[in-house]
Amino acid sequence: MRIVILTLNFYTMYRMILNETSYFGAGCRESIATEAMRRGFKKAFFVTDKDLIRFKVADKIIEVFEKNNIPYEIYSDVKANPTIANVQNGVAAFTASGADFIVALGGGSAIDTAKGIGIVFNNPEFADVKSLEGVADTKKKAVPTFALPTTAGTAAEVTINYVIIDEDAKKKMVCVDPNDIPAVAIVDPELMYSMPKGLTAATGMDALTHAIESYITPGAWVMSDMLELKAIEMIAANLKAAVDNGSDPVAREAMSQAQYIAGMGFSNVGLGIVHSMAHPLGAHYDTPHGVANALLLPYVMEYNADSPAAPKYIHIAKAMGVNTDGMTEAEGVKAAVEAVKQLSLSIGIPQKLNEIGVRKEDLHTLAVDAFNDVCTGGNPRPTSIEDIEALYNLAY
């Protein structure tokens, strides 16, 4: 889904782009067969990662293929932070496979790799992958893709964004393209039961970061606000339970829906410098994206409270479960930041950059990269390299 805001003769117009079809609920992975048959597809190119194969999660999808006589070919050359090479190798493998649609199973890594493969195959002028950074002028939709998330965080199955590492430049390339959105999103919480506690915590906080950043970005509007406040409320109520008991069906299903709802919003109105600052950490240190976002979020929230978004913080606090009756704006800001910190601490998120191996001498380079990130323009408070470096130091 994408929203474009245009001001024409005293009125504002919003445009939304959604998945063609979305399924939710335990066992809904069976809809792969229904949708493949309905669309006349003959062979699947199954993009997933080696861990999901090793831990038998991929078997749940293979079972659907085999039960319904759908030929498939597996592509598992996927890194935690996918690279240009992962995409290019995938394009070659897809070409050789004779498949006519892609099924992507995984977190953001597998789905982002699949997006890159699908876009480049149908738009070969972008075969270098580097030219897809930012808002690329692709002409054709990606190869039809069914996206099945195994984490409750990235919402890659519903967004028009994907992130690929340029290893030569040590840079995370954020690619924004409405042509890459998966045709079908299949959000089956049963695929998330095997997530370990640490990954559940990090990806859940990633989803919370999406919701909060897009709620306070200048491009936010009534529909995105509605989505993000609901996502914040659901995450605050269910994340700790999902971390503490990964097989809790109620918490898992709520988190699977909450991260999708957050994705519907941020895909269209943008993010801010939490993501700008997290991306270089992934590029330089291979830091998991959810961990980076979760660690940085409270520091950036405090920084962004000095902006026109400040009145919204009291609504964040309320959605986080805080009784905000009678609070002033300043008290609402403090309550929102504190609620996020407490949730983060309760699920074991690292609180300082030095805990995750970041080197102090790298902070200036990280700040330059973060300032030049595509997400910086969506921040509610105008920023600078110096401000971002100061935030890194504060979080160090």
pLDDT at 15 over 80: no
Percent of the chain with pLDDT over 90: 90
* CATH of 197-395 among 3.40.190.10, 1.20.1090.10, 1.10.357.10, 3.40.630.10: 1.20.1090.10
Q: What is the mean pLDDT of residues 369-395?
A: 97
* pLDDT for position 81: 86
Closest CA to 81 of 5, 8, 164: 164
Amino acid at position 25, single letter: G
> At 1, is the pLDDT very low, low, confident or very high (cuts 50, 70, 90)?
very low
Q: Coil, strand or helix: which one is 189?
A: helix
pLDDT in tens, 25-53: 999 999 999 999 999 999 999 999 999 99
Could you tell me which of 152, 344, 110 has the C-alpha nearest to residue 262?
A: 152
Tell me the backbone φ, ψ of residue 122, rounded to 5 degrees: -90, -10
pLDDT score, position 11 = 61
Mean pLDDT, residues 269-291: 94
- The encoded tokens of residue 59 equal 């078997």
pLDDT of 40 reads: 98
pLDDT at 235 over 50: yes
Around 134, how many Cα atoms within 13 Å sit in the side-chain half-sphere?
Answer: 6
pLDDT at 280: 95
pLDDT band at 80 (very low <50, low <70, confident <90, very high): confident
CB contact at 8 A, 175 and 142: no
Residue 170 has pLDDT above 90, yes or no: no
In angstroms, rounded to a whole number, what is the distance separating the alpha carbons of residues 175 and 265? Answer: 17
Q: For the chain, what are the domain ranges? A: 5-192, 197-395
Architecture of the domain whose range is 5-192: 3-Layer(aba) Sandwich (3.40)
pLDDT of residue 340: 98
Structure tokens given for 33: 């067969």
| Cα gap 378→396, rounded to integer Å | 24
**Strand pairing class (21-24; 134-135):** unpaired
Q: How far is CA 205 from CA 24, 208, 221, 258, in A?
A: 21, 5, 23, 11
Q: What is the pLDDT of residues 131-168, one digit of tens each?
A: 999 999 999 999 999 999 999 999 999 999 999 999 88
Average pLDDT over residues 235-263: 96
Task: Using pLDDT thresholds of 50, 70 and 90, give the confidence band for residue 10.
Answer: low
pLDDT tens for residues 281-320? 998 998 989 999 999 999 999 999 999 999 999 999 999 9
Q: In the predicted model, what is the mean pLDDT of residues 382-392?
A: 98
Looking at residue 176, its pLDDT comes to 93
pLDDT at 13: 73
pLDDT band at 18 (very low <50, low <70, confident <90, very high): confident
Confidence of residue 4 (pLDDT cuts 50, 70, 90): very low
The span from the CA of 210 to the CA of 264, in Å, is 10
pLDDT at 7: 46
Instruction: Output the pTM of the full model.
Output: 0.93
Q: What is the mean pLDDT of the chain?
A: 94
